[in-house]
Amino acid sequence: MNFDLDEDQLLTRDTIARFLGPVDISARHAMRAGAGGYARTRWQEVADLGLLALAAPEAMGGMGGTIVDLALVAEALGKGLAIDPWLENGVLPIRLAAAAGDAALVGDLVGGTRLAAVAFAEPARRYETRSIATKVDGGHVGGTKTLVLGAPLADTLLVTAAGDKLAKVAHDAAGVVRQDYPIVDGSSAATLDLHRAPAEIFDLPDMKFQRVIGDVRLLAAAEMLGLAQTMFDDTLAYVGERQQFGAAIGSFQALQHRLVECYAALELARSMVLRTAMQDPTTDDANWPRIAAGAKAFVGEAATRIGLEAVQMHGGMGQTDELAIGHALKRVMLLDKYFGDQDHCLRSFARAA
């Protein structure tokens, strides 16, 4: 299998690297301190780069990027420790809107004029994605959704409901009660209580929803790969500079062995992401979600291990908000549990094997 990137893919990766630039912790803190932990003006810049259009089909005004293209973007965003909610408030709602046939919303999301949050999780149901308590009634939707990532930023709420339905709700619609809170990576989420909120209702067959979940799981794995790369690179540089007992701590054999193990885990994770992405999910919708779940579990374990080693080798300051290491590990902690933690994803993979 050829893992070489083509010219367009290399250009996309380099463009993202230039857009993100060096990690600026002070600027990151300033943006997180703002409303919703993010600036909508920056979201427009993400759209102008075409990063949102990649996720949409050409028939709906997008660029029709492949899953390989999207995985490269996710990895580059992770490596650059991007603050942008590209996956949860970009790819996921665009893919869902496209699956439901809402071309108008796809166009608005791709252009950056609207930002959507997806409400799929229900209380006390852990990682189950099929809605049972949230229901539509005519042109209204009612129920409770938890951990709606990016909801404080969103203009539009996409709410999954029983009966394979998707409800499109305005963020300020009557009957929408939102409780906002910060989450582990510094971004924002909300619990939504919907009391017969007026909505536009679409059909969303579960197979299409599971296909989108498969895409998001793989892209979460790709972003974790990028985050693991930057944590490894920062740690390798640090142990070459930190002096103890008259020598750089990177010269100590015990740390060298641990770093080699981290490097091996990183490269295995990279191979897993590439191998999975280069399968064509459009030819095997039924198996795609389980394949992506297995990849996410594998990469999540590797990224978590590398992050914990990075923190330990940096000492106590590795956990602080003054270093990129801590920010990267917290993002890994979130992504590792997005649409299922390692155990859940492995069970999903095993049940369908």
Q: Which tens digit of pLDDT belongs to each residue from 51-100? A: 999 999 999 999 999 999 999 999 999 999 999 999 999 999 999 999 99
275: Cβ–Cβ under 8 A, 6 or more apart, which residues?
Answer: 1
Contact 185, 333 (CB under 8 A): yes
- The residues with which 198 forms a beta bridge, in sequence order, are 140
Task: Give residue limits of the domains in the chain.
Answer: 7-111, 116-204, 207-352
Closest CA to 328 of 343, 312, 307: 307
In whole angstroms, give the CA distance from residue 270 to residue 205. 32
Half-sphere exposure of residue 273, counting CA atoms within 13 Å on the CB side?
30
CA dihedral 128, 132, 137, 142 (to 10 degrees): -70
Could you tell me which CATH number the domain at 116-204 has?
2.40.110.10
pLDDT digits (tens, 9 = 90+) for 243-261: 888 888 888 999 999 999 9
Q: How confident is the model at residue 281 (pLDDT cuts 50, 70, 90)?
A: low
CA distance 67 to 310: 30
Long-range Cβ contacts of 183-186 (<8 Å, 24+ apart): 183/147, 183/149, 183/334, 184/330, 184/333, 184/334, 185/327, 185/330, 185/331, 185/333, 185/334, 186/28, 186/32, 186/37, 186/327, 186/330
Q: Is 117 helix (H, G, I), strand (E, B) or coil?
A: strand
**Is residue 1 scored above 70 in pLDDT?**
no
Q: How large a percentage of the chain has pLDDT more than 70?
A: 97
Packed helices 206-241 and 253-277: angle between N→C axes, nearest 10 degrees? 150
**Could you say which DSSP state residue 22 is in?**
S
| pLDDT at position 263 over 60 | yes
Look over the chain and give the mean of its residue pLDDT values, rounded to a whole number: 93
CATH of 207-352, one of 1.10.3720.10, 3.30.43.10, 3.40.50.300, 1.20.140.10: 1.20.140.10
Architecture of the domain spanning 7-111? Orthogonal Bundle (1.10)
